[in-house]
Structure 1
Amino acid sequence: MLDQVCQLARNAGDAIMQVYDGTKPMDVVSKADNSPVTAADIAAHTVIMDGLRTLTPDIPVLSEEDPPGWEVRQHWQRYWLVDPLDGTKEFIKRNGEFTVNIALI
């Protein structure tokens, strides 16, 4: 399973880099907490969520871009914790200080 998850991270990174290098528009908007979210965040989120749901359909996913409520999560014994683009502010500045995070908790 580790190889497949690593490949998901690489695929998410590829989606992120299409925005970073200007192939696709950045489309920055603000989330409810006023933190930025870009097209790269959403693209990476989609890649990872689709992949994890296919790879491990029985394990729920907590992603920064679409977190289920506490009433849903509180009983999870095992779950994926995902930040599809950690360092969005740095990504927007194009300083290279960002990463894809996927962890099985």
Structure 2
Amino acid sequence: MSDGYAWRVTPVAGRTVQGECSHLDQAQGLPATTARGCEDCLREGGTWVHLRQCLACGHVGCCDSSPKKHAHAHARSGHDLARSIEPGEDWAWCYPDELFLQPCCYGAAR
């Protein structure tokens, strides 16, 4: 999937106050990744469950269900947004604000 999207917070049903993401400006228009797996696990010889791609720099790390949680560790470097690159999934996550994001406004300025 090529990411020419702007991203927005996914509304949460039943929640009267919706969260706001203060990190959306970090999202870059990234090309579809050709990563074979989690960059860190491949280097270390580890395993992963699902893959996430940093929306700031394109780093591919493993999800929080994976043993090493490399995507979350990468987010602590100041790159707060990551999208799922699993087939059929079209969402992203803001780690510090703990919010799901959906793509919107293809090609729109951020």
Q: Give TM class, smaller chain.
A: under 0.3
Structure number with higher helix proportion: 1
**Which has the higher relative contact order, 1 or 2, with Cα contacts under 8 A spaced 6 or more apart?**
2
TM-score, scaled to structure 2 = 0.26
